[in-house]
Amino acid sequence: MALSDPDGILASPLTIIERIDESRDIEAITDIVSRNHVKQIIIGLPRSMDGSLGRQAEKVAAFTQRLRGHTEVPVEFRDERLTTVSAKRLIQPLDTKKARKKGRYDAPAAALILQGYLDEIR
């Protein structure tokens, strides 16, 4: 997950929510949304390189639909193609064993997705 500053200018990595089960995952997200007074939720949609929606994108869309039932905050999708690759390139010089673990680029990738959204709406 990532959050922006209150003025919506700069996105920063926040945390990684380790998947446990859907109800706890939704609870973790809505708790962060509530504590941080989030006004918009941006979710990365994992499109295929040709732009089509594959199996993982369908899972994300289904989860997002259920999340929408637990929050009044608007939810919007953003293409997340190559964001993990970009996050790895940004972090590579600082790479450590901890960062190499699976999923350690997820929060920086989320910040890249959010920053793209923030840049678009300005």
Q: What confidence tens digit (pLDDT) does each residue in 16-56 have?
A: 998 889 999 999 999 999 999 999 999 998 877 787 888 98
**Residue 54: is it exposed, middle or buried by C-beta count within 10 angstroms (0-12/13-18/19+)?**
exposed
* Number of domains observed in the structure of the chain: 1
Instruction: State the residue range of the domain holding 42.
Output: 2-121
Helix (H, G, I), strand (E, B) or coil at 65: helix
Q: Where are the alpha helices (DSSP H) in the chain?
A: 22-35, 55-68, 83-91, 97-100, 106-121
CB atoms under 10 Å from CB of 30, counted, come to 16
CATH number at 32 reads 3.30.420.140
Residue length, the chain?
122
Report the alpha-carbon angle 72-75-78, nearest 5. 170
pLDDT at 72: 97
